[in-house]
Structure 1
């Protein structure tokens, strides 16, 4: 069994004023950084209610519609966004679930079932279990209430933070990737989740990234995993994942989401923040994510696969963005820790 990676303790209060000042400097520099030109097909979220978009999933039932959610909200809400306008065309209120804690991921599985991962650890809380929700995607896009099924999930090797949940488009099996600075693991649960008992997830393969989200290609043959500074494309290989290449992940303020388009030709990357932009990049291999070449999708331009370093091609503005993300994350973690 893969070893459990320890959580790192962060420095306390004396760093706070220094980091706050540094955040202002680097974010000011980042605002002047040029935006990448290869984002054709992206869109901007116009709904002022969507301030912490933490997951993204392309609808197969409604072409051009993407489902998203906040990581913390005033209710159990999902938002259907029209990519041609960036506007919300339907809001779903889930019933049959508890009060969401930290909703970090969304995925659409077979039979147009929407799966939602309430798997994060906002406020630094260590949960003894987390939740996954499942509901049918509505055939009509309108504001409505839908009853969801709630599943209780525990990890075989103890509680952990996670922001990535994916559902295989062929088998319907649900997977989770935990979030660790030094890289996490792909966790596999039962072939069919039980709504009446606890579903135990086991680590089955290492993931060489500080993962914030993941997505299957439409044919289920590729797994794209993103972090704050880079991403990795894996050959699914029946769950025995094999690294193919780095992904060309855009520099974003707090990159939290990823999904394939329904035809598999592009990968879309989202970020938190009001009025945030979803950026589209060509998917390696194109089409349904079949054969990926080592140079496809500009993978050599991505940040380091381990989620830490910057490539030699980064501009000063890009480095400022990356530094800003680090500072914001550290400040967020410091605020969450009890005094």
Structure 2
């Protein structure tokens, strides 16, 4: 009896302690991040296997527009926050060659960049297609304006097309290791002549890019990295690198409609789209910081080994929950309760043993 009484008492005390701790921490849970990061959704449409561009809708909350790379046809897809295709838009009279990017302009039109060149820069010209963002999400065929594009310094491969939301000017970033450039289109594209794009800045290897909704930030991403720029007077100034999720083939990026976060996409079947909130110093000029928990430092976060259905790693930890071990936090309160309960359990056990010995 003496050899079993102490463990039994401690076991009971542990149960009480666990319940007490759970109550203490449950009554005041650790503060959640104001803008959580993580996988936003998975593109489940079996037709979309090479999602190469993303553009957040301005008319339909939570919806993003995407498209396949090549060998698909003249189609653009509207995908809702659950990853479901809610509209398929067919571009009338278009036979795309290598569609790589999509961007929304201030005129309410979507601009589709048929600008890829897998021959390493051999096509003498490429094209941009523009059409009004549909007011209704349903399968439909739309009329398209086609713009002919050439570069002042000769043909090149490119995968990023961005429309300045303030001026409507179109920009293209080329895809070249150790020599990529940012190209500026004419002030207004011409549907009849040749639109010559001129190099205005050196940029890293780029697979997609996006302006913030207010036009004060530009993000350019590659397969494994992304860079944030301040955009002012038609020119970029680098603010620094951004943490990006490790993806199977990182191809696309867009700002969310509120400008507070980025969505990162990848090619492949059932490809996930990750949400990565910006911290206060990275936010566009017209976006006020959220009132809530202190900003969380950005940086990569580890994902489970399985990586979910896609086998991919987690996105930046900008939205991960803050540490709850600081003094005065719920976890700290729980530790104190646990300590007190443990000491009471020990005291009770010792008292019981002494009484047993005295009575015997």
Q: Identify the TM-score tier after normalising by the shorter chain.
A: 0.7 to 0.9
Output the CA distance in 2 between the equivalents of 1:297 and 1:228.
25
- CA gap of 1:290–1:148, structure 2 versus 1, over 3 A, is same
Output the CA distance in 2 between the equivalents of 1:100 and 1:152.
13
Q: Does 1:138 align with 2:134?
A: yes
- 2:166 — aligned with what? 170
CA-CA distance at 1:181 after TM superposition? 1.1
- Secondary structure, in 3 states, of the residue corresponding to 1:241? strand
Alignment of 1:152-231 (within 5 A): 152-207=148-203, 209-231=204-226
- CA gap of 1:183–1:231, structure 2 versus 1, over 3 A, is farther
**Cα RMSD over matched residues?**
2.9
CA-CA distance at 1:121 after TM superposition? 1.2
| Greater gyration radius | 2
CA-CA distance at 1:111 after TM superposition? 2.8
- 1:45 — aligned with what? 43
- CA gap of 1:297–1:180, structure 2 versus 1, over 3 A, is farther
- 2:230 — aligned with what? 235
- CA gap of 1:180–1:281, structure 2 versus 1, over 3 A, is same
- 1:60 — aligned with what? 58
Question: In terms of mean alpha carbon deviation, does 119-128 or 130-139 score higher?
Answer: 119-128
Contact 1:247-1:297 within 8 A present in 2 as well: no
Output the CA distance in 1 between the equivalents of 2:241 and 2:67.
27
CA-CA distance at 1:227 after TM superposition? 0.7
Return the TM-score normalized by structure 1. Answer: 0.74
Count of aligned positions: 271
Output the CA distance in 1 between the equivalents of 2:103 and 2:306.
33
Contact 1:246-1:300 within 8 A present in 2 as well: no
2:245 aligns with one of 242, 250, 256: 250
CA-CA distance at 1:146 after TM superposition? 0.1
CA deviation vs aligned residue, 1:13-42 (integer Å, no higher than 9, x gap): xxxxxxxxxxxxxxxxxxxxxxxxx63361
- CA gap of 1:287–1:212, structure 2 versus 1, over 3 A, is closer
- 1:310 — aligned with what? none
- CA gap of 1:195–1:206, structure 2 versus 1, over 3 A, is same
CA-CA distance at 1:284 after TM superposition? 3.7
Return the TM-score normalized by structure 2. Answer: 0.69
Contact 2:214-2:286 within 8 A present in 1 as well: no
Output the CA distance in 1 between the equivalents of 2:305 and 2:88.
40
CA-CA distance at 1:185 after TM superposition? 1.1
Output the CA distance in 1 between the equivalents of 2:43 and 2:304.
27
- Secondary structure, in 3 states, of the residue corresponding to 2:148? strand
CA-CA distance at 1:288 after TM superposition? 6.1
1:263 aligns with one of 252, 258, 275: 258
Q: Does 1:102 align with 2:98?
A: yes
Contact 2:245-2:300 within 8 A present in 1 as well: no
CA deviation vs aligned residue, 1:245-270 (integer Å, no higher than 9, x gap): 11111100000000011001110000
Contact 2:121-2:157 within 8 A present in 1 as well: no
Structure 2 spans left out of the alignment, 5+ residues:
1-35, 290-294, 314-360
- CA gap of 1:291–1:132, structure 2 versus 1, over 3 A, is same
Contact 1:266-1:286 within 8 A present in 2 as well: no
1:93 aligns with one of 78, 90, 96: 90
CA-CA distance at 1:122 after TM superposition? 3.1
- CA gap of 1:109–1:253, structure 2 versus 1, over 3 A, is same
- 1:289 — aligned with what? 284
Output the CA distance in 2 between the equivalents of 1:245 and 1:297.
17
Output the CA distance in 1 between the equivalents of 2:231 and 2:121.
32
